[in-house]
Amino acid sequence: MRKNESRVIVALDYSGQKQALEFVAKISPEQCKLKIGKELFTRAGPQLVEKLVSQGFDVFLDLKFHDIPNTVKKAVYAAAQLEVWMVNVHAMGGQSMLNAAREGVDMAGNRHPLLIAVSVLTSLKSSDLVQLGISDDLPDFVKRLAGMAINEGLDGLVCSAQEASLLRETFGKAPLLVTPGIRPDWAATDDQHRIMTPKQALQNGSSYLVIGRPITQHENPAEALEMINQSL
């Protein structure tokens, strides 16, 4: 279903449909892909997804499904019917849930979306794992969850750019690695701490780069996108 070769996924982290559509009107589907997360989807619903897909955009539906296997299977299939480009689930849902998610994607036939897994949220630290009763250190736990997702046939993983090289060394070139926390060297770091430039992230093994405010809050979003694409 891929419509363009851009590695950039713009995070539409807006509180409503009006703001999102005002931004989208300033860019083109050839420049990037779009990510819709929980807040925007909860407010605007499937109708916004359908609208963006009809305009030619590849849409990453970032809802991180995590539930019993049958529920996740049906949710992923519903996402596939929206003709999204990519959808994700939580790897911590376990092997049966991941397998069910893969089945839900496959039910959509040849036009199914890419299916990727979130291993460990970037907000979690090693001390948080201890509180959850997990004895692995953070990198080992990420690798364990990533291996389970790949073994269940998922297409790739969401990870930090810092984890990308570790996952490449472990799992090779095949998995797609989608990385947030990307900041061009000309952009403010805002509240992000573990960041990389787009070029550094690709060199580290990332496949796709999730970028929000450096583009969405730029006075000329199309120009910002062009600068980033050219740097890659």
Rg (CA), the chain: 17
**64 is an active site residue:** yes
Which pLDDT value is given to residue 192? 44
How many whole angstroms separate alpha carbon 39 and alpha carbon 208? 22
Q: Residue ranges of the chain with pLDDT lower than 70?
A: 1-3, 186-195
How many whole angstroms separate alpha carbon 33 and alpha carbon 31? 7
How many whole angstroms separate alpha carbon 157 and alpha carbon 91? 9
**Active-site residue, from 26, 51, 64, 199:** 64
Q: Which residues pair with 117 in a beta bridge?
A: 89, 157
The Cα-based distances of 19 to 24, 97, 189 in angstroms read 9, 35, 22
Taking the CA atoms of residue 115, residue 193, residue 183 and residue 212 in that order, the dihedral angle to the nearest 10 degrees is 60
Six token digits for residue 192: 């992000």
* CATH classification number, 8-231, choose in 3.30.70.100, 3.30.43.10, 3.40.930.10, 3.20.20.70: 3.20.20.70
pTM assigned to the model = 0.91
Q: Identify the residue whose tokens are 């093994």.
A: 205
Q: Is the Cβ–Cβ distance between 165 and 171 less than 8 Å?
A: no
Which pLDDT value is given to residue 7? 93
Q: Is the Cβ–Cβ distance between 59 and 85 less than 8 Å?
A: yes
